[in-house]
Amino acid sequence: MIEIKNIHKSFSKNEVLKGVDLVIPEGNAIAVLGPNGSGKTTLIKSILGMVLPNQGEIFLNTRNIKKGWEYRKQIDYLPQIANFPNNLKVFELIKMIKDIRGGDIANENKYIDLFSLHPFLNKKLGNLSGGTKQKVNLVLAFMFDSPIIILDEPTSGLDPVSLLVLKDIILEQKVKGKTLLISSHIMSFVEAVCDKVMFIWEGKIYFNGTIADLKNETNEDDFEHAIAHLLKNAHA
Ligand code: ADP
């Protein structure tokens, strides 16, 4: 379980998070939604310890994350923008990440197969298309089989077949009882894979509940319209 208590984060005068409280129970798949620049990545990076909040606490299984970095071993993370070294080959990158992660067992071959990446293993990352780089990013995110998975814009650049593969992988993780936090602008994807959504607006959590709750609250049958309704209300 991840507990976020009263997180505030400013970048100089830009107050991005203004008191975020959130509980992410084990085994839930939660979508982090909100307009561009609303603080989704800042919140995700706060959980990972990559951004230090100005105020507030984050607990992973009741332990304050400030107490040590080891908790990160329980988390697999897909960054929104993966700045891979251009001169490295795909197989070299995978090996490097395995070396850095130390003793953890990786099942990279399963994901290399699923995303049909074999023809690219010997290619330099700088020569890959955006979509292929994203597939490599996804292999790195899933291969350690950790109990918590945080995916920042996982659908970015993926073709329809890879999108289906990704959906199946996420559904499989859910069956395994993993906890997932996913940011995405693709509402059909969110609806297919997430149980709950939270919507960040003006630095706070504006909505937190199931997709059915959101549809009820906004009186909209369709998820995309329900989100649009939420945005319109937030702007009013
Ligand atoms: P989202 O993921 O919702 O698009 P972000 O969390 O990336 O939003 O950004 C929220 C705000 O914080 C934006 O205004 C962004 O410019 C600012 N921001 C994010 N990271 C930094 C940083 N390292 N330094 C300064 N400003 C930042």
Calculate how far, in angstroms, residue 38's C-alpha sits from the geometric centre of ligand 1.
8
Tell whether 73 is covered by a domain: yes
| Pocket perturbation via mutation, ligand 1, pick of 38, 40, 42, 78 by most ligand atoms within 8 A of CB | 42
CATH code where residue 75 lies:
3.40.50.300
pLDDT in tens, 151-186: 999 999 999 999 999 999 999 999 999 999 999 989
Ligand 1: residue whose CA is nearest its atom 11: 37
**Separation CA 51–CA 224 (nearest Å):** 31
Tell whether 111 is covered by a domain: no
Q: Is 50 in the pocket of ligand 1 (CB under 6 A)?
A: no
Q: What is the b/e burial string over 41-72, where b = at least 16 CB atoms within 10 angstroms of the residue's CB?
A: bbbbbbbbeebebeebebbbeeeebeeeeebb
Q: Are 25 and 178 in contact (CB under 8 A)?
A: no
Tell whether 14 is covered by a domain: yes
Q: Alpha helices, DSSP H only, in the chain? A: 40-48, 90-101, 108-114, 130-142, 160-175, 187-193, 211-218, 223-235
Residue 135: the pLDDT is 97
Q: Is 51 in the pocket of ligand 1 (CB under 6 A)?
A: no
CB neighbours of residue 21 within 10 Å: 13
Ligand 1: residue whose CA is nearest its atom 5: 39
How many angstroms separate the Cα of 127 from the Cα of each of 78, 85, 120, 133, 153?
A: 21, 11, 10, 9, 22
Counted domains in the chain:
1
Tell whether 126 is covered by a domain: no
Tell whether 40 is covered by a domain: yes
Domain with 187 in it: 2-86+143-235
Tell whether 62 is covered by a domain: yes
Tell whether 119 is covered by a domain: no
| Pocket perturbation via mutation, ligand 1, pick of 7, 10, 14 by most ligand atoms within 8 A of CB | 14
Query: pTM of the predicted model, to two decimals?
Result: 0.93
pLDDT in tens, 112-144: 999 999 999 999 999 999 999 999 999 999 999
Tell whether 165 is covered by a domain: yes
Token pair 């001169």 in the structure block, residue: 87
